[in-house]
């Protein structure tokens, strides 16, 4: 399938207007001891008053300061301020700091400040090992968001261009401008991960626990070729927390974090543990999480069947660093013993995914070499869950799949000048999938006596290469040009039906030439304008292929 995306104009972030302030009318020259008052109300972006906000006033001439906290009505007042010019600072956790400069305080007058708090812009300072991109800001989920989210996709469902298709509790499928599943490329810690569910009920993102997602970059529009390829919807890149090393002067760094939650509806509870023990050059980390829930109850008090789920995740990281080098290996294990699907006559009865990811990075003046080798193995079983109405369907319909991802990536960042960076890379990804449905006793010839071989040794090998030129012309204007090639080889073994009644269909498929090669080319050209911290605009052209 080939699709061209033309002229995607993406206003990225738009914030509310600045804090407004008004002050009273002029008065005649004040006597030497004259005083006035500053008072006001602090409101959040929705207009609700904010109690407990820290407010400080500072006299610009004398640096004399006073502080106060807003009352339950969100208001504050400073009486008896010497006449003059003041600066007011309002600090509320979770919002941008508001500074109102040069407020005139006049004798026997009240200066009124109406403070509208703003949500801080999405952070754009990409960390050293995180995916690098000119087009998107990173989302860093907070612990309360992690505890609230049933699955990792919910952590970024409010990002521009994203919507979720709800499946099982752990398996929301992210759609980028309506394109999901294999149209949206998923990169987890630099690994390309495929769905091992032949029915595509479970997105590969469901193998990543919310507690392991430290940073998420969603590219729903023009994806740079260095982050794209093999997808027409865009790319979702999830990074777990970077290894923590002891700082200078610290002999041993140790940190422990634990979270837990309970939600009465559906008896949903779970938690996570994070542990790091590190020296200056060696770091060991562990993240584990567990969550379970039974069926939830809707607003009318009815139980919604097949909404139960349980999940366990472990990830272990071992890393070492030198002055310019970093080498890390992460192993993870994801286990779902059961997960109901309220929207399908099929449930997940087991999913075990294990992965290994080796990462090397070497940085030099302004540039870096980044290389990874990765492997993931997923055993996935579906069947009709115990609470499904089975008439006239059979009681049992096992479907077992086995998926394997194997690949490498090599990326080079080469600064050409103070303004321009050239990125080049090469990657390989191999995915193998088997899908077999065991015979059901007594159900021949429809579902027996043989095993239904739906996919036998289905394999897909992709080798991709790209080059990309990023130019920062000023603090406001950036251009990005990229080209990439992906060559894809696909093949599969012969299929087989449950019985001879499927023989004609199987024979027709088996007679086809199943070895196929595709040579695909992608291109992007993007112009980005960031007039201020509150907004950014992109105009671009992309040719994408899947
Ligand atoms: Cu499945």
What would the 3-class secondary structure string for 319-339 be?
EEECCCEEEEEEEEEEEEEEE
Looking at residue 390, its pLDDT comes to 65
E-strand ranges in 438-451 read: none
For ligand 1, the distance from its centroid to the CA atom of residue 407, given in whole angstroms, is 23
119 and 142 assigned to the same domain: no
For ligand 1, the distance from its centroid to the CA atom of residue 319, given in whole angstroms, is 34
For ligand 1, the distance from its centroid to the CA atom of residue 419, given in whole angstroms, is 48
CB-based burial of residue 88 (10 Å sphere; 0-12 exposed, 13-18 middle, 19+ buried)? buried
Looking at residue 325, its pLDDT comes to 93
Rounded Cα gap, residues 327 and 159, in angstroms: 32
Q: Residue 53 has which token pair? A: 């906000």
Domain containing 261 — which CATH number?
A: 2.40.170.20
For ligand 1, the distance from its centroid to the CA atom of residue 187, given in whole angstroms, is 20
For ligand 1, the distance from its centroid to the CA atom of residue 209, given in whole angstroms, is 18
For ligand 1, the distance from its centroid to the CA atom of residue 307, given in whole angstroms, is 15
Three-state secondary structure call for residue 503: helix
Note whether 340 and 295 are within 8 A (CB): yes
For ligand 1, the distance from its centroid to the CA atom of residue 341, given in whole angstroms, is 10
For ligand 1, the distance from its centroid to the CA atom of residue 446, given in whole angstroms, is 21
pTM above 0.75, yes or no: no
For ligand 1, the distance from its centroid to the CA atom of residue 201, given in whole angstroms, is 5
Give exposure, 6-36, as e/b (b: 16+ Cβ within 10 Å). Answer: eebebebeeeeeebebebeeeeeebeeebbb
How many distinct structural domains can be found in the chain?
A: 2
232 and 198 assigned to the same domain: yes
78 and 216 assigned to the same domain: no
For ligand 1, the distance from its centroid to the CA atom of residue 380, given in whole angstroms, is 7
For ligand 1, the distance from its centroid to the CA atom of residue 491, given in whole angstroms, is 21
105 and 158 assigned to the same domain: no
117 and 183 assigned to the same domain: no
Give the residue ranges of the chain where pLDDT is below 70: 1-32, 120-137, 390-394
- 4 found inside a domain: no
For ligand 1, the distance from its centroid to the CA atom of residue 196, given in whole angstroms, is 7
For ligand 1, the distance from its centroid to the CA atom of residue 167, given in whole angstroms, is 11
Q: Residue 197 has which token pair? A: 């569910």
Rounded Cα gap, residues 38 and 511, in angstroms: 85
CB-based burial of residue 163 (10 Å sphere; 0-12 exposed, 13-18 middle, 19+ buried)? middle
Task: Answer with the one of 102, 127, 152 that is the final residue of a domain.
Answer: 127
Task: Answer with the one of 92, 127, 162 that is the final residue of a domain.
Answer: 127
Looking at residue 68, its pLDDT comes to 92
175 and 53 assigned to the same domain: no
Beta-strand relationship, 65-69 and 75-82: unpaired
pLDDT, tens only, 445-479? 999 999 999 999 999 999 999 999 999 888 789 99
Rounded Cα gap, residues 12 and 1, in angstroms: 28
For ligand 1, the distance from its centroid to the CA atom of residue 204, given in whole angstroms, is 11
Q: Residue 536 has which token pair? A: 């950014």
For ligand 1, the distance from its centroid to the CA atom of residue 198, given in whole angstroms, is 6
Please, what is the Cα angle at 413 between 410 and 418, to 5 degrees? 180
Looking at residue 392, its pLDDT comes to 66
For ligand 1, the distance from its centroid to the CA atom of residue 172, given in whole angstroms, is 13
> Please, which residues bridge with residue 16 across strands?
none
- 245 found inside a domain: yes
State the residue range of the domain holding 68. 35-127
Q: How many Cβ atoms from other residues are within 10 Å of residue 379's Cβ?
A: 15
For ligand 1, the distance from its centroid to the CA atom of residue 149, given in whole angstroms, is 21
For ligand 1, the distance from its centroid to the CA atom of residue 272, given in whole angstroms, is 26
- 10 found inside a domain: no
Q: From 128, 2, 17, 101, select the one nearest 535 (Cα to Cα).
A: 17
For ligand 1, the distance from its centroid to the CA atom of residue 437, given in whole angstroms, is 12
Phi first, then psi: what are they for 143, rounded to 5°? -55, -35
For ligand 1, the distance from its centroid to the CA atom of residue 432, given in whole angstroms, is 16
For ligand 1, the distance from its centroid to the CA atom of residue 155, given in whole angstroms, is 22
For ligand 1, the distance from its centroid to the CA atom of residue 382, given in whole angstroms, is 5
Rounded Cα gap, residues 318 and 46, in angstroms: 45
430 and 397 assigned to the same domain: yes
């Amino acid at each position: 399938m080939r699709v061209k995306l033309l002229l995607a104009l993406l206003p990225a972030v738009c914030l509310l207007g600045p804090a407004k302030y008004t002050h009273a009318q002029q008065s005649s020259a004040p006597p030497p001891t004259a005083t006035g008052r500053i008072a006001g109300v602090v409101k959040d972006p929705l207009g609700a008053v904010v109690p407990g906000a820290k407010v400080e006033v500072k006299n610009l001439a004398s640096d004399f300061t006073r502080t106060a906290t807003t009352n339950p009505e969100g208001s504050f007042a400073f009486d008896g301020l010497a006449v003059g010019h003041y600066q007011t600072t309002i600090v509320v956790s979770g919002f941008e700091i508001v500074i109102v400069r040069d407020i005139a305080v006049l004798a026997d007058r009240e200066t009124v400040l109406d403070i509208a708090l703003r949500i801080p812009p999405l952070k754009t300072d990409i960390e050293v090992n995180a995916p690098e991109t000119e087009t998107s800001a990173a989302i860093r989920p907070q612990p309360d968001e992690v505890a609230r989210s049933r699955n990792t996709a919910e952590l970024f469902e409010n990002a521009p261009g994203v919507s979720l298709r709800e499946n099982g509790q752990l398996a929301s499928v992210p759609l980028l401008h309506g394109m999901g599943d294999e149209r949206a490329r998923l990169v987890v810690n630099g690994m390309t991960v495929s769905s091992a569910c032949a029915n595509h009920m479970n997105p590969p993102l469901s193998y990543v626990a919310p507690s392991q997602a430290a940073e998420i970059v969603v590219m729903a529009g023009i994806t740079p070729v260095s982050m794209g390829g093999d997808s027409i919807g865009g790319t979702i890149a999830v990074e777990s927390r970077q290894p923590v090393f002891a700082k200078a002067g610290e002999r041993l760094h140790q940190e422990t974090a634990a979270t837990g939650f309970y939600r009465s509806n559906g008896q949903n509870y779970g938690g996570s543990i994070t542990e790091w023990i590190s020296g200056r050059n060696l770091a060991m980390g562990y993240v584990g999480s567990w969550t379970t829930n039974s069926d939830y109850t809707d607003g009318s008090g009815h139980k919604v069947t097949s909404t139960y789920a349980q999940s366990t995740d472990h990830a272990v990281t071992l890393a070492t660093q030198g002055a310019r080098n970093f080498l890390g290996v992460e192993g993870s294990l994801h286990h779902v013993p059961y997960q109901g699907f309220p929207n399908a006559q099929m449930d997940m009865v087991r999913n075990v995914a294990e992965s290994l990811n080796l990462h090397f990075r070497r940085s030099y003046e302004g540039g870096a070499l980044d290389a990874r080798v990765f492997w993931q193995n997923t055993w996935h079983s579906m069947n009709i869950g115990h609470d499904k109405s089975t008439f006239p369907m059979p009681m049992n319909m096992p479907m077992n799949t086995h998926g394997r991802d194997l690949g490498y990536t090599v990326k080079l960042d080469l600064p050409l000048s103070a303004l321009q960076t050239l990125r080049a890379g090469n990657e390989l990804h191999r995915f193998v999938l088997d899908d077999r449905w065991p015979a059901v006793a007594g159900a021949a010839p429809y579902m027996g006596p043989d095993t239904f071989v739906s996919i036998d040794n289905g394999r897909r090998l992709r080798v991709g290469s790209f080059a990309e030129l990023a130019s920062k012309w000023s603090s406001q204007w950036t251009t990005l040009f990229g080209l990439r090639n992906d060559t894809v080889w696909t093949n599969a073994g012969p299929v087989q039906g449950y019985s001879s009644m499927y023989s004609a269909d199987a024979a027709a498929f088996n007679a086809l030439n199943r070895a196929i090669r595709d040579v695909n080319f992608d291109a992007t050209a993007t112009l980005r304008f960031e007039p201020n911290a509150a907004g950014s605009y992109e105009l671009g052209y992309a040719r994408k292929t899947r």
